[in-house]
Amino acid sequence: MAEKVGSSIITYRLKLRCDHIDWIRETENFYNKVLEFYYEILTDHLDFLELSNMEVLRRLEQMTIVGRDKQPVMMPLPFQKVPLYFRRSAINAAIGHIRSYVGLLQNWERKKEKAEKKGHTWKKGKPAPAKSFHASVVFYKGMFKEFGEGSILLKLWNGRSWIWVRHTYYGRKLPKEGIILSPAVINKGRKILLSVPVKFQVKDVRKVKERKKEKDSFCAVHFTTTGVLAACAVFSGNGHVTDSYFVRGGKEFAYRRKRLLNRIKKAVEGGKKYKRKIFRLSSYYAHLVSRRILDYCKQKGIKGIIVPKYAEIEGHLYGQGIEGFLGKRIIQFLKYKAWKEGIILTTISPYYTASHCCHCGIPLRRYNEGHMPGNRYFGGKLFMCKNGHQGNVALNAAKNLGILFHSRNIVVG
C-alpha cells in the first residue's frame, strides 16, 4: 500500500542583531494600523467569513485599493506608500483575528445556551472585538531577501520612507532539507527575535486506525515525577509487549528546580528572574525527554505513540497543580516532533492504569526495596499484586495504556 505524503511546519526562533530598533517599532506600528483598518471593515462584513481567506483578501482589496481602471473605491486605504505584500500580510492577520473573535463568540453562545437549558446562571462576559493590536510583522515575499549565512535583508519603514536594512542573526542552524516560509520579527523590547517557519515533508500521514489495522508497532508512554521521567512499553501489531525503555533524569531535574525555588524564597523582589529560569529548565527537560523517546521509537521502527489523555475540567488540566510534573509539556513537544518523522501521537484516558496490575487487572500494592508492600504506600517505585505479579510501577502503567489501546475498537486521538 502506497503511503500518503503530507507536511509539517516547525518554527525556529533566532536572535536578531538590530542597529535601528526604532525602525522595527515604526514598521510594527504601521503594520498594526493597516491591520486595524481592515479588521474594522471585517467587523461590519462578517458574511465575508463564509468565503476562503484568498477570496476574503480579494474582496477587501477591491473595496479599498484603486485598480487599473482608476475607478473610486468604497473605503480607500487611508495610508500612503503601503507595499503590496506588506498590505496583504496585514490583511491576512486581520482575517485571522476576526475568525478568532467569531469562534470565541460562537463558543460563548453555545456554552450559554447549554447552561440556560440546565437552569444554571451564566455569568461569563460576552467576548468583544479587539480594540488595539500588537501583532508581530510577518514579512512576505518582496519584504525580505538574501536570507541565509547568518544575515537577512528586511524592508523597514522609518516613518518617512521604506529602506532595505541588513541584519545579522544567530541561534539554531536552519535545516537544509526544509522549505523556509515567511519569517516574522518579534519585538520584545531590548530583544528582537526572528521567527522562521520551516516546512518539512512528511512521508507517512496515515491515521491511527489505519496504522492499527495494518498491525504497526506502537509505543505506550507513562510520565512520572520520580527519577524515571518516562517509561515506554513497545507493543507489536498483535498487542504483545516486545521491549521497554526508561528515560531517567527526574532526580537531577528535581534538585535543580528545588535550588531555584529556594532562591525565590530569598529573593527581595519576588524572584521573577528565577521563575523564568524554572520555566526554561522545565522546557529544557521536556525537550530532552521528548527527543529521547522519539529517537528510541525511530530506532525500533515504531509508527505510533500512545500517551495519557489528561482530562480537562472547566478549562483546567488534570495534574496542573503539580508544578514539577512535565508530562503535559513533554506531550506537547513530542506531538510535533513525532509527526515530522511520520509517527502519529494518540491519547487514551488512563483509567486505573497506575493502580491495577497489567497482567491480571486486580489492584496492586506499592513498595520500595527493603520495604513491605502496602495499599497506601504512596511514592513506591515497585509493585506486587495478590497473584504474585511484580515489577516497576511506571512500566506497569505504560503497559496498561497499551492494553487499553489495543482492547478498544474506537481510538481517541
What are the tens digits of pLDDT across the range 111-138? 999 999 988 988 889 999 999 999 999 9
Cell of 198: 520551516
Residue type, 197: P
Average pLDDT over residues 154-164: 94
Torsion, CA 90, CA 93, CA 94, CA 99, rounded to 10: 160
For residues 50-82, b (16+ Cβ closer than 10 Å) or e, as one string? eeeeeebbeebbebbeeeeeeeeeeeebeeeeb
In a domain, 1, yes or no: no
Percent of residues, the chain, with pLDDT higher than 70: 93
Amino acid at 196: V
- Do 392 and 298 sit in the same domain of this protein? yes
Is residue 215 one of the residues assigned to a domain?
yes
- Using the Cα atoms of residue 135, residue 137, residue 140 and residue 142 in order, give the sign of their dihedral: positive
The Cα 61–Cα 65 span in angstroms is: 5
Listed residue (339, 232, 322) closest to 282, CA to CA: 322
157 and 217 share one domain: no
Percentage of the chain surpassing pLDDT 90?
A: 64
pLDDT in tens, 237-252: 888 999 999 999 999 9
On whether both 35 and 180 belong to a single domain, the answer is yes
Task: Please state, rounded to an integer, the average pLDDT across all residues of the chain.
Answer: 89
Entry field: residues in the chain: 413
pLDDT digits (tens, 9 = 90+) for 32-77: 999 999 999 999 999 999 999 999 999 999 999 988 888 888 899 9
Q: How does 361-386 read in b/e, with b if 16+ C-beta sit within 10 Å?
A: eeebbbbeeeeebeeeeeebebbbbe
- Same-domain status, 192 and 296: no
Residues 133 and 33 in one domain: yes
Evaluate whether residue 400 is within a structural domain: yes
Domain total of the chain: 2
DSSP summary character for residue 52 = -
What tens digit of pLDDT does each residue of 162-205 get?
999 999 999 989 988 889 999 999 998 889 999 999 999 998 89
Q: What is the pLDDT of residue 92?
A: 96
Cα–Cα distance list, 173 to 13, 170, 314 (Å): 10, 8, 41
Grade residue 314 by pLDDT with cuts at 50, 70 and 90: very low
Are residues 188 and 256 both part of a single domain? no
At residue 334 the predicted structure's pLDDT band, cuts being 50, 70 and 90, is very high
Domain co-membership, 373 together with 233: yes
Judge whether 302 lies within some domain. yes
Which of 78, 85, 96 is closest to 37 using CA atoms?
78
Residue 307 pairs in a beta bridge with 347
Greater confidence, 1 or 368? 368
pLDDT level of residue 317 (50, 70, 90 thresholds):
very low
- Co-location of 152 and 235 in the same domain: no
3-state secondary structure of 284: helix
Q: How confident is the model at residue 322 (pLDDT cuts 50, 70, 90)?
A: low
What pLDDT is attached to residue 243? 94
Which three cell numbers mark 166? 541588513
What is the rounded distance in angstroms from the CA atom of residue 107 to the CA atom of residue 136?
A: 26
CATH number for the domain spanning 325: value is 3.30.420.140
* Residue 239 and residue 309 in one domain: yes
The answer to the question of residue 55 being in a domain is yes
pLDDT at 320 over 60: no
Is residue 412 in a domain? no
DSSP 3-state of 175 = coil
CB atoms within 10 A of CB 191: 11
What range does the domain containing 306 cover?
A: 208-407
**Quick one: 393 and 352 in the same domain?**
yes
Q: Mean pLDDT throughout 76-95? A: 94
- pLDDT-derived band at 413 (thresholds 50, 70, 90) equals very low
Domain membership of residue 49 (yes or no) is yes
Statement to judge: residues 185 and 132 lie in one domain: yes
175 and 252 assigned to the same domain: no
Look at strands 304-308 and 344-348 and give their pairing. parallel
In single-letter form, the type of residue at position 10 comes to: I
Place of cell 517557519: 197
Query: Is the confidence at residue 337, as pLDDT, over 70?
Result: yes
10 falls within a domain: yes
Where b means 16+ CB within 10 Å and e means fewer, 292-318 reads: bbbebbeeeebbbbbbbbbeeeeeeee
Q: Let me know the angle formed at the C-alpha of 217 by 214 and 223, rounded to the nearest 5 degrees.
A: 135
Please state, in angstroms and rounded to a whole number, the distance separating the CA atoms of residues 355 and 363. 6
- Take residue 118 and report the three cell numbers written for it: 440546565
Considering 201, 233, 262, which residue would you say is the last residue of a domain?
A: 201
DSSP line for 187-254: EETTEEEEEEEEEEEES----HHHHHHTT--EEEEEE-SSSEEEEEEEE-TTS-EEEEEEEE-HHHHH
Confidence of residue 217 (pLDDT cuts 50, 70, 90): very high
Query: Which of 201, 224, 246 is at the close of a domain?
Result: 201
Query: Using 50, 70 and 90 to split pLDDT, how confident is the model at 273?
Result: confident
Q: Could you list the beta-strand ranges (E) of 309-396.
A: 312-313, 316-317, 344-348, 365-367, 382-384, 390-392
Is pLDDT at 321 greater than 50 in this prediction? no
**Degrees to nearest 5, angle at CA 355 with 251 and 393:** 35
Helices 327-340 and 272-300 sit at what angle, rounded to 10 degrees?
A: 50
Among 141, 172, 201, identify where a domain stops: 201
Residue with cell 522519539: 294
CA-CA distance, 169 to 194, in Å (whole number)? 8
